[in-house]
Amino acid sequence: QSVLTQPPSVSGAPGQRVTISCTGGSSNIGSGYDVHWYQQLPAAAPKLLIYGNNNRPSGVPDRFSGSKSGTSASLVITGLQAEDEADYYCQSYDTSLSGWRVFGGGTKLTVL
Amino acid sequence: EVQLVQSGAEVKKPGESLRISCKGSGYTFTDYCITWVRQMPGKGLEWMATIDPSDSYTSYSPSFRGHVTISTDWSISTAYLQWSSLKASDTAIYYCARHKITGNSHFDPWGQGTLVTASS
């Protein structure tokens, strides 16, 4: 059971918008800790997608955006493309367990 | 270009020891931490441990403390993850990732991963 909760799967047709949620609690996201998002394409290493809740590294399309509110965060992908089919993970910091870095369980995005 | 290059795939028997590596390049190795992350077959990412190469300070997830050891050799910009006695349940892909020393910093970049198979 992950400290951060994500839906196991989401799907959308090309061109649509999808949202992936990441729900935490008072010892992690709710304490003000930043949320980061990673994309893992099939058979590849994870790659940083969003950092500090809503910042995109150089090279990441502006179709990807992040937000945070209270004890939750969201990743939004607009103009869905076939190449976006991947697993997405949120990550934050948790103070209830000796300052761990924690991941969400991951969300599989399927482009229909 | 900042890169982390990991050692190759390993096949070992349960009970054997193993050390895998992660070599950093394109940056000052001691200016950033290295974290190790496990991904079991078909599963998600799990934080294992973090090391600060500047002073070798380490922190471990309780799930992994006592079963693995992390270390660095800053002279060759390399971090290590080692087991003294592998279990079949250690079969997984292990990633290293770089991040700033301060607070809840993001992981970037990641190594390409090392597949460890522990099977009799």
What are the pLDDT digits (tens) for B35-45?
999 999 999 99
Backbone angles phi, psi at B60, to 5 degrees: -125, 145
Q: What is the pLDDT of residue B101?
A: 84
- Cα–Cα distance, A14 to A111 (Å, whole number): 6
Give A48 to chain B, closest Cα distance, Å: 6
What are the pLDDT digits (tens) for A49-66?
999 999 999 999 999 999
Q: Nearest chain B Cα to A92, which residue?
A: B104
Give B15 to chain A, closest Cα distance, Å: 28
- Measured between beta carbons, the chain A residues lying within 8 angstroms of B51 are none
Inter-chain touch A45–B35, beta carbons under 8 Å = no
Side-by-side strand order, sheet with B45-52: B10-12, B114-118, B92-100, B32-39, B45-52, B57-60
Task: Grade residue A99 by pLDDT with cuts at 50, 70 and 90.
Answer: low
Mutate to test the interface with B, among A9, A29, A98, A101 (most CBs of B within 10 A): A101
Question: DSSP alpha helices (H): ranges in A1-112?
Answer: none
Q: What is the pLDDT of residue B104?
A: 84
Task: Grade residue A96 by pLDDT with cuts at 50, 70 and 90.
Answer: confident
Give A82 to chain B, closest Cα distance, Å: 21
Inter-chain touch A47–B110, beta carbons under 8 Å = yes
Inter-chain touch B44–A38, beta carbons under 8 Å = no
The residues near B57 (Cβ < 8 Å, ≥ 6 apart) are B51
Preceding peptide of A7 cis, ω within 30°: no
Determine contact: A43 vs chain B, CB below 8 A. no
What are the pLDDT digits (tens) for A17-49?
999 999 999 999 999 999 999 999 999 999 999
The residues near A44 (Cβ < 8 Å, ≥ 6 apart) are none
The closest alpha carbon to A2, from A108, A98, A91, belongs to A91
- Cα–Cα distance, A37 to A49 (Å, whole number): 5
Regions of chain B where pLDDT drops below 70: none
Contact between A100 and A93 under an 8 Å Cβ cutoff? The reply is: yes
Q: Nearest chain B Cα to A33, which residue?
A: B104
What are the pLDDT digits (tens) for B88-110?
999 999 999 999 987 789 999 99
Determine contact: B59 vs chain A, CB below 8 A. yes
The rounded mean pLDDT for chain A is: 95
- Measured between beta carbons, the chain B residues lying within 8 angstroms of A92 are 104
Inter-chain touch B103–A97, beta carbons under 8 Å = no
Determine contact: A98 vs chain B, CB below 8 A. yes
